[in-house]
Structure 1
Amino acid sequence: MMDEFEAIRPYTDREVPTVMARLFADREFLDILARFRFPKLAGPLGWLLKPLISRKLHKEFAGIHSVDMLQQRIESYVERTIARATDGVTYSGLDGLQAGQSYLFLANHRDIVMDPAFVNYAVFQTGMRTPRIAIGDNLLQRPFVSDLMRLNKSFIVQRSLTGRREKLAAYQLLSAYINHSIRSDGESIWIAQAEGRAKDGDDRTDSAILKMLHMSRKDEAFAETLAALHLTPVSISYEYDPCDQAKARELYTRASTGSYQKTPGEDDASIALGITGYKGRVHVHFGQPVVAPQEDAKQLAYALDQQILSGYRLFPVHYLAYASWDERDPQLAVPQAATLFSSDELERARQEWNRRLQACPVEQRPYLIRQYATPVRNQYRVKAGLPL
């Protein structure tokens, strides 16, 4: 038993029945389910709905005694969510992964829950074991959220610590856990390339995360540690981001006031909108596992960025946004959307893009455009061999 990782690790199989029983009795959790399933009735009839939902959950998940069984049972819910909120999900690069091998999937980060969910779903479909998921403790303010995430193979990244010594100890523990998971347990890991979502569409790997991976293995060279983790870049592309308006508002507020203060429940709202909101098409590309990592963390981050940015799937909306962007790069030969997509596809995208622009306050629109235009600039810079 990994006692040293007790505070951050996901739940084990033997803990599953106890945690599920706790969840199905949690009033806050049942209240959210009631409001999600029966929005009109949840207020006046919540007292009646909650025990009914609890009973249904007990019945539906009876006999689940392991994390794998739970994920198999949840698969149909994930498929239903994908069917409702997307126009289809496609994958590429999975043939570069070997069954039985554990990987450190390092991905661009746009959505709190759906980024790892789509990676999980892809890996699950191939018959490989799903990765353990890194999630910040800032998102686990309520016990039932922590229970839900840790049941689904999430481990905790302690971001809310303020003391330098505590932070250092937390990163040391995190580093040890990730190395232990891949090298000893044979379990893959998903982690975002940087702390927090890329709200401006600029996907960049933070070299501090790569350095953290080496913290617990100082007896090894940096490149040796990273090679043992089978570091694999992943590009997740959403045609439309359900949270794009909220991100534009945050970026505008930061630019005009110098800071941004989240309101209570804002993360919960982002999670809910990210799961249920319309995404259009979604593409997940698995890059080439890094066989011989650079010895320098910044150089390795740059090499990972080249893979992540070139693996990003650009949709018509990205080209439409780029064409209207004030910060277009004159060095880049970016083609017109009309030369790349059919007129029908382009017209649908134009209508949806105009709808989003109209819904966005005028002063915030440059930040909405930037989110969709930046991936175009980044990808064409990589193609042209220009510095990022």
Structure 2
Amino acid sequence: MMDEFEAIRPYADAEVPAVMARLFADREFLEILARFRFPRLAGSLGWLLKPLIARRLHGEFAGIHSVDTLQERIEFYLDRTIERATDGITYSGLDQLKPGSAYLFLANHRDIVMDPAFVNYAVFQARMRTPRIAIGDNLLQRPFVSDLMRLNKSFIVRRSLTGRREKLAAYQVLSAYINHSIRNDGESVWIAQAEGRAKDGDDRTDSAILKMLHMSRKDEESFAETLTALRPTPVSISYEYDPCDQAKARELYIRATTGSYTKAPGEDDTSIALGITGYKGRVHISFGRPIEEIPDDAKQLAAAVDRQILGSYRLFPVHYLAYRIWDERDPQLAIPSLAELFSEEEIARAEAEWSKRLAACPSVQQPYLIQQYANPVRNRYRLESGLEP
């Protein structure tokens, strides 16, 4: 059965030692690590640092023969990242999940690597098995990135195919793999609610992704039956500050003024690095209730997922500050003042950080920066007022 998934599946325990050995010999991988760990020395002393880093990695990761052990070791690095780049991480709703059950985590998507990493971290802390992670092949341009991700329980979504027939065949395999993971292997799966990050802060589930999940089971069961078996569970991740917010504002501005946007070579790598190391403020991950009453219509299910994701998105002071100056404020909504919700100290800190971000953003791009932080406020209060978000 696993053979049909050979090209997309994560690595199995037996493959770990060989893949690690390949990584430790990859010059490009060692170069990036050298730049990340020793930014000032990497240029002139890169030739000296690479063999040292390779030896250090051998020492740290020698004797690891399973994915679980590798994830335990990686947790130490994630702890360090959380310490350096955030003001702390909180999570809620984990008590609604049963250890030993597998879920389909449908999550909003703001950051390429950190969204699934933080969900993994929360699940790991709760002593549950971490999910397998869906990742687009557009991010796997280099062999070592593909190796790293597949070692960490990622499987590949083949987004770069252009022919209709190849796309359909790839989605068929993807659908079968996700169903096989949850229903046969008892392994949870993390997948973003839509393709690509929500660059405007408006988190919406694409019903086409939900339809794809049913594709491989169409002949045996209805949409509702398939989705019920997958236990869809909305996950809402909120960053107080998005390290990539300026880059997202620039992209949205270029799209709006020219009609399209072409990524520069290496742009995804820059987003990944900035997303991992950049300052995020506080981070909150909210696990929603697994949806049990599944409608037989993908659009209705998408709306049910959205209600949970938008309703449990944690709003920080910066979101209200952005909403206050947003041109698209909704006059029907009664939004509480900052003073009703946060302490003076919290508001002062947020005002300082927000003015810094606005000042760093060219004025023509500012509306696109503002909407990233303002949209979650509108969505939450529309929901609370009984309006469609």
TM category (shorter chain) comes to over 0.9
Paired residue for 2:29?
29
Give, in angstroms, the shift of residue 164 of structure 1: 0.2
Instruction: Name the amino acid aligned to 1:113.
Output: V
Supply the AA of the counterpart residue of 1:216.
S
SS where residue 381 of structure 1 aligns? helix
Q: Which residue of 1 aligns with 2:182?
A: 182
Provide the rounded CA distance (Å) in 2 between the counterparts of 1:139 and 1:206: 20
| Cα distance in structure 2, aligned partners of 1:141 and 1:362 | 34
Check if 1:376 corresponds to 2:377. yes
Shift of 1:347: 0.5
Could you tell me how far 1:366 is from its partner in structure 2?
0.3
TM-score by length of 1: 0.99
2: CA distance, partners of 1:343 / 1:42: 43
CA distance in 1, matches of 2:83, 2:41: 25
| CA offsets 1:115-169 (integer angstroms, 9 cap, x no match) | 0000000000011000000000000000000000000000000000000000000
Cα deviations by residue, 1:48-77 (Å, 9 ceiling, x for unpaired)? 110110011011101100000000111110
Residue 7 of structure 1: CA displacement? 0.3
Structure 2 equivalent of residue 273 of structure 1? 274
Shift of 1:274: 0.2
Distance in 1 separating the partners of 2:285 and 2:303: 20
1:1-388 maps to which residues of 2 (within 5 A)? 2-218=2-218, 219-388=220-389
- Structure 1 residue 38, shift from structure 2 partner: 1.1
User: Which is worse superposed, 38-47 or 296-305?
Assistant: 38-47
- The one-letter code matched in structure 1 to 2:107 is A
Amino acid at match of 1:349: A
How far is the alpha carbon of 1:292 from its aligned partner?
A: 1.5
How many Å separate the matches in 1 of 2:345 and 2:215?
A: 52
Report Cα offsets for 1:322-373 as digits up to 9, x if no partner.
Answer: 0100000011111111211111100100000000000000000000000000
What SS does the aligned partner of 1:4 have?
helix
Distance 1:174 1:329 in 2: 40
Q: Distance in 2 between matches of 1:201 and 1:194?
A: 13
Q: SS state of the match for residue 217, structure 1?
A: coil
TM superposition outliers: structure 1 runs of 4+ over 4 Å: none
1:191, distance to aligned residue in structure 2 (A): 0.2
AA partner of residue 102 (structure 1): A
| Residue identity in the other structure for 2:313 | Y
| 3-state DSSP of counterpart to 2:250 | helix
Q: Which amino acid aligns with 1:86?
A: T
Structure 2 residue ranges without an equivalent (≥5): none
Q: Aligned partners of 1:287, 1:60: CA distance in 2, in Å?
A: 37
CA distance in 2, matches of 1:30, 1:13: 23
**Identity percentage of aligned residues:** 80
* Root mean square deviation, CA, Å: 0.6
Q: Tell me how far apart the structure 1 counterparts of residues 230 and 246 of structure 2 sit (CA, whole Å).
A: 37
Name the SS for the 1:124 alignment partner. helix
Point out where structure 1 has 5 or more consecutive residues left out of the alignment. Answer: none
Distance in 2 (alpha carbons) for counterparts of 1:204 and 1:381: 14
Shift, 1:45, TM fit: 1.1
How far off its partner does 1:46 sit? 1.0
Q: Report the alpha carbon displacement of residue 234 of structure 1 after superposing the two structures with TM.
A: 0.2
Output the CA distance in 2 between the equivalents of 1:330 and 1:294.
33
Give the whole-Å Cα distance in 2 for the aligned partners of 1:84 and 1:48.
27
Cα distance in 1, alignment partners of residues 351 and 339 from structure 2:
11
Q: How many residues of Structure 1 are paired with residues of Structure 2 in the alignment?
A: 388
